[in-house]
Structure 1
Amino acid sequence: MTTRWLTPEEQRAWRAYIAATLLVEDAIDRQLQREAGMPHLYYSILANLSDAPERRMRMTDLAESLKITRSRLTYAVTRLEKDGLLGREDCRWDKRGSVAVLTDEGMAVLERLAPGHVETVRATLLDRLTPEQVGQLEEIFTQVAHGFQGDAGEAAPEELPWRRRSSPCSGSS
């Protein structure tokens, strides 16, 4: 198989993507650590649950929504549960699964953090783009994500983080 090396234009685009995503993620993490002592992933878990019906979501669905492995989610949920921001319940329709539940305290923390989080997202990314570029950004990354999820037939389902097999010691979700 012949390697399809990146063209100079593709290499510049790739490096720009890496630089921008690392800088934006760093700014968001620093803001959330400063204001709440939590990483962006924990905030994202709270935000996803706040949008879910009854602030509840099956753990496997939450892992898929966040695009992370089930074991990574289990670890994060355990920490948020210890802090009183989440609870966990048995899944009524699947005896093997569990449901993450956003507590009132978790919702209060999310409501307190949301203004600073949104301001950081705006300052580091969205305010630097025109409305047309924001639309292009959505279109580009939606296409990339759909490609991973099999819409373009590019990824086998077991390659997706939330479908990977966890080791027996990593906990169930």
Structure 2
Amino acid sequence: MVDPSARAEQPECETPSDADLLPAELRSWMRLLAAAGAVEQQLRSRVKDAMGISHDEFLVLCLLADQPGSRLRMTQIAELLGRPKTRLTYQVACLQRAGLITRMSACGDRRGIEVALTEKARRLLGESSRPLADAVSEAIAQTACSQGYSQLHDFLPGVPDTERQAAHPQDPPR
């Protein structure tokens, strides 16, 4: 009969350090995804309120605004945003109905479709972009602080290196 007061010896379990589970590249990728998710969450409702469009439609406008001539082919937009062409076609149709973009045949390729910003879109982006940019900075800063990811501060163009160093003195200066 087993003595109930006697404890069974438990083998010692060796657990790997959490730092050993993921290489630095994957850990950095996960931090970037967390920051992108936080930014997207912050922007979804703000974009809808400020501009009356979805977050995905906003991404199309931002991509166009950042291109020379504010125009791109549909295939390029799909590739740059990592979206299926069918989904992009729907978003572009919504933006066109709202008067924010125009669609035309691509120069030299009648099969290709090119989209461009309208003046209405330029005005709307001009009015809305500063508050939305501030929301992006806020989301990145909150994610960086809450998760202790000092590297995310590098995404904030308005934060001088001296402030980054004061917040995270262990980081080497850039």
TM-score where L is the length of structure 2:
0.63
Mapped partners of 1:111, 1:32: distance in 2: 13
Secondary structure of the structure 1 residue equivalent to 2:107: coil
- Given that 2:144 and 2:153 are in contact with CA atoms closer than 8 Å, whether structure 1 keeps it comes out as no
The Cα offsets for residues 116-150 of structure 1, whole Å up to 9 and x where unpaired, read as: 1101100011465489613777xxxxxxxxxxxxx
Match of 1:107 among 100, 119, 122: 122
Of 47-56 and 75-84, deviating more is 47-56
Match for residue 133 of structure 1? 151
Deviation at 1:49, TM superposition (A): 0.9
The alignment's C-alpha RMSD in Å is 3.2
Q: Which residue of 2 aligns with 1:40?
A: 55
Structure 1 equivalent of residue 81 of structure 2 = 66
Task: Describe the shift of the 1:18–1:134 C-alpha distance in structure 2 as closer, same or farther (beyond 3 A).
Answer: closer
Rg (Cα) greater in structure: 2
Structure 2 residue runs of 5 or longer lacking an equivalent are: 1-16, 156-174
Residues 24-173 of structure 1 aligned to structure 2 (within 5 Å): 24-126=39-141, 129=144, 133-134=151-152
Count residues in correspondence. Answer: 132
Question: C-alpha distance in 2, partners of 1:51/1:18?
Answer: 22
Give secondary structure in 1 for the equivalent of 2:134: helix
Matched with 2:160 is none
Equivalent AA in structure 2 for residue 68 of structure 1: R
Between Structure 1 and Structure 2, the one with more helix by share is 1
Distance 1:91 1:17, change over 3 A: closer
Query: Structure 1 residues 106, 18: closer, same or farther in 2, change over 3 A?
Result: closer
Equivalent pair of 1:46/1:107 in contact (CA under 8 Å): no
| Structure 1 residue 15 displacement after superposition | 7.8
Q: Provide structure 1 residue ranges, at least 5 long, that are not aligned to the other structure.
A: 1-6, 138-173
**Larger RCO: 1 or 2 (CA < 8 Å, sep 6+):** 1
